[in-house]
Amino acid sequence: MTVEGADGRRYLDCLSGAGTLALGHNHPVVLEAIRRVLDSGAPLHVLDLATPVKDDFTTELFDSLPPEFARDARIQFCGPAGTDAVEAALKLVRTATGRGGLLAFTGAYHGMTAGALAAGGDTAVRPGLAGTVQQPVRLPYPYDYRCPFGVGGREAARLSTHWTTALLDDPKSGIEPPAGMIVEAVQGEGGVIPAPDDWLRELRQLTAARGIPLIVDEVQTGVGRTGRLWAVEHSGILPDVLVVSKAVGGSLPLSAIVYRAELDVWAPGAHAGTFRGNQLAMAAGAATLRHVREQRLPARAAALGERLLTRLRGLAAELPAIGDVRGRGLMLGVELVDTTAEPDPRGTLPAAPGLAAAVRAQALRRGLIVELGGRHSSVVRLLPPLTMTDDQAEAVFERLAESIRAASAAALPPSARARPRGQGRSQAQVPPQAQAQAQPQAQAQAQARDALG
Ligand SMILES: Cc1ncc(COP(=O)(O)O)c(C=O)c1O
């Protein structure tokens, strides 16, 4: 999981190509699969032609899916980015239902092309788009820490489904019957927010009962990331359309939708696109899926993720700048908050984007690459490879803990640095902030050179 920088230092990479590298950088299984295709002399790009490599990929993918879903499903390969597969999913359900509208969630991220952008929750990245694409009806995603209803917990999930049902069933709610609903089982870019399993099951029931196709976007959660091969397995729901990309191409660009046969009413060529037949990506993807399954990496991700969550929660008890720690499997988030600001009525402090950026910079100094996401980019995100060793996981935790200590100590006003904030924290629990702050750069660099990979 390590990469060497231009500075000659080795970094532990918890960004993993935005979650693409399920097996880490240049895993031998992936390299061997790519080499085999190259050495075979087979064509590298074939558009829609059937090939043994494509057959192998499709078989491996379908074998990895819940059998009740895979049994009668269809596949459409898409232009190689996840966002194009989202566009295909939207087009598919619109064609099949003859309707235009869409249900999408607060905090969602589905990509950067027009339809996917409209389905996403981030208005800052789509200036000028209004009016060019049909806007979805926005529904509240149960984000416990910053609950859209101000209540949190199971009640928030219940209110979310209640609101959705009311909108759909009230003849005067002002919304047309939609073509579909799109949801992430764990919001990644939204700030690592796992959806409660019960909530997903209720969504599945209420959409099925009203003939609304359910699109589950597993671009980021797929291929073992959340502790199951596919995140839908946690709740047991079966989607109507599954969107896959990122890790499914084994580090090379590949995306597809897998969908129920009844929806397959669009004409051949309805979702064209040149780069839909990359044989190297299919070979790398098949090898990755096989390796993840054979080595039981989802279970490994679940165990490692639990361990890291426990350690990070311990750290949160020590450092008030950590507002929340959450995740599923090896999709983890640490939400940083502004301890100098006033909390809201639930006691939640405002986001601290500056602090999050400082933590990322401190982490880089210590040889750790992390990603930011979430509301106001205040969530430090970890997406390490599923192959991460115990020692690497420990090093990730240590480096991140030191980075948060150092950055949060530096962010506090001088008068507050000597004492811990928050209730019930004794002096003995005060993080060694001064020590972390004074840690010489040379020491951090030496630490970063540890070849842990
Ligand atoms: C859930 C989800 N859907 C779609 C996308 C878009 O994928 P791409 O960046 O390959 O277009 C992403 C990317 O991060 C994602 O996380």
Q: What is the pLDDT of residue 411?
A: 81
pLDDT digits (tens, 9 = 90+) for 316-339: 999 999 999 999 999 999 999 999
Q: What is the pLDDT of residue 128?
A: 74
Say whether pLDDT at 445 is over 80: no
Q: How much distance in Å is there from the Cα of 286 to the middle of ligand 1?
A: 20
The pLDDT value recorded for residue 370 is 98
**Which residues have any ligand 1 atom within 6 Å of their CB?**
18, 81-83, 86, 109-111, 184, 188-189, 217, 219-220, 245
Stretch 411-427: mean pLDDT = 53
Give mean pLDDT, residues 294-311: 98
Burial 438-452 (b: 16+ CB within 10 A, else e): ebeeeebeebbeeeb
**pLDDT for position 416:** 66
Residues forming CATH 3.90.1150.10 domain(s) in the chain: 2-22+297-448
451 pLDDT above the threshold of 60: no
Confidence of residue 133 (pLDDT cuts 50, 70, 90): confident
* Cα distance between residue 32 and residue 284, in whole Å: 9
Burial class from Cβ neighbours inside 10 Å (0-12, 13-18, 19+) for residue 399 reads buried
- For residues 352-368, average pLDDT: 98
Domain with CATH 3.40.640.10 in the chain: 42-294
Confidence at residue 62, expressed as pLDDT on a 0 to 100 scale:
98
Using one digit for the tens of pLDDT, what is the confidence trace for 83-129? 999 999 999 999 999 999 999 999 999 999 999 999 999 888 877 77
**What is the rounded CA–CA span in Å between residue 35 and residue 50?**
20
DSSP string, 183-226: E-SEESTTTSEEPPHHHHHHHHHHHHHTT-PEEEE-TTTTTTTT
Please give the distance of CA 345 from its chain centroid, rounded to a whole number: 29
Work out which ligand 1 atom sits closest to the CA atom of 189: 16
Q: What is the mean pLDDT of residues 358-365?
A: 98
Q: In what order do the strands lie in the sheet with 73-78?
A: 73-78, 255-260, 241-244, 214-217, 180-183, 102-105, 137-139
Q: Please say if the pLDDT value at position 430 is more than 90.
A: no
Q: Which residues, 6 or more positions from 270, have their beta carbon under 8 angstroms from its beta carbon? A: 91, 95
Work out the mean pLDDT of the chain and round it to a whole number: 91
Mean pLDDT of 371-391: 97
Q: Does domain 2-22+297-448 have CATH number 3.80.30.20?
A: no
CA–CA distances in Å: residue 131 to residues 89, 123, 275: 21, 13, 29
Using the predicted structure, report yes or no on whether residue 444 has a pLDDT greater than 90: no
State pLDDT tens for residues 34-50: 999 999 999 999 988 99
This prediction's pTM: 0.92
Q: How far is the CA of 220 from the centre of ligand 1 (A)?
A: 7
Written as six digits, the tokens of 65 are: 């899916």
Distance 256 CA to ligand 1 centre (A): 12
Question: Mean pLDDT over residues 181-186, rounded?
Answer: 98
Query: Best substitution site from 16, 215, 220 to test ligand 1's pocket, by max atoms within 8 Å of Cβ?
Result: 220
The CATH number that domain 42-294 falls under is 3.40.640.10
**Taking residues 202-216, what's their average pLDDT?**
98
